[in-house]
């Protein structure tokens, strides 16, 4: 697999695709973070109120903070969304990404998983970010299958090292 040619894709994603991915991630594991923020906010209110029992206003304040934090977490991906065309290249070292003048690289060790979900290849990073590669990034089903096979093989090879 070391000699396999680089795979390069050019595509853009939509806000809807991003929202769909976020909802799947929320059901899978992000809800745990949101629940933790809710519990933490309530705990902070209890600890800083200075009296017991809590007033209705204390509870509303704690829930308000929790809702604001959770809403910002939900909205952040949509705010940071980049609709521009992305070039994503893969090889044995990892992937390179370029959107406009911004570029970056990610090693295979930074990738948590590669899944094929409802026509979108999802390359999930360990930091909870992901690359969403829609079906339209490929000229054919065969090109998509070959690219997915090569990407998974490179990632597997890195994990065995």
Q: Is the pTM of this model over 0.85?
A: no
Q: What is the mean pLDDT of the chain?
A: 89
The 3-class secondary structure across the chain, one letter per residue, is CCCCCCEEEEECCCHHHHHHHHHHHHHHHHHHHHHHHHHHHHHHHHHHHCCCCCCHHHHHHHHHHHHHHHHHHHHHHHHCCCCCCEEEEEECCEEEEEECCEEEEEEHHHEEEEEEECCEEEEEECCCCEEEEEHHHCCCHHHHHHHHHHHHHHHHHHHHC
pLDDT in tens, 140-149: 999 999 999 9
pLDDT band at 4 (very low <50, low <70, confident <90, very high): low
What pLDDT digit, counting tens, does each position of 20-77 carry?
988 988 898 889 988 998 888 878 877 888 888 888 988 888 888 888 888 998 899 8
Kindly provide the b/e burial profile for residues 58-97, where b requires at least 16 CB atoms within 10 angstroms of the residue's own CB.
beebbeebbeebbeeeeeebeeeeeeeebebebbbebbbe
Mean pLDDT, residues 85-108 taken together: 94
What pLDDT score does 77 carry?
87
pLDDT > 90: percent of the chain: 48
Average pLDDT of the segment spanning 67-89: 90
Q: What pLDDT score does 86 carry? A: 95
What pLDDT, on a 0 to 100 scale, did the predictor assign at position 117? Answer: 83
> Sign of dihedral through CA atoms 99, 105, 108, 113?
negative
Amino acid 74: pLDDT = 86
pLDDT over threshold 80, residue 2: no
Residue 102 confidence (pLDDT) above 60: yes
pLDDT reading at 125 higher than 80: yes
């Amino acid at each position: 697999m070391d000699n396999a040619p680089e795979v390069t894709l050019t595509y853009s994603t939509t806000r809807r695709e991003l929202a769909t991915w976020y909802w799947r991630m929320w059901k899978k594991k992000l809800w745990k973070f949101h629940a933790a923020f809710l519990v933490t906010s309530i705990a902070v209110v209890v600890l800083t109120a200075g009296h017991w029992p809590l007033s209705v206003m204390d509870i509303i304040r704690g829930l308000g903070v929790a809702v604001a934090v959770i809403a910002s977490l939900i909205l952040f991906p949509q705010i940071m969304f980049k609709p521009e065309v992305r070039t994503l290249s893969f090889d044995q070292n990892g992937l390179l990404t370029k959107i406009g003048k911004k570029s970056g690289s990610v090693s295979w060790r930074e990738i948590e998983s590669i899944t094929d979900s409802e026509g979108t290849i999802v390359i999930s990073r360990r930091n909870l970010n992901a690359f969403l590669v829609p079906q339209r990034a490929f000229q054919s089903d065969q090109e998509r299958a070959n690219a997915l096979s090569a990407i998974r093989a490179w990632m597997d090879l890195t994990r065995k090292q």
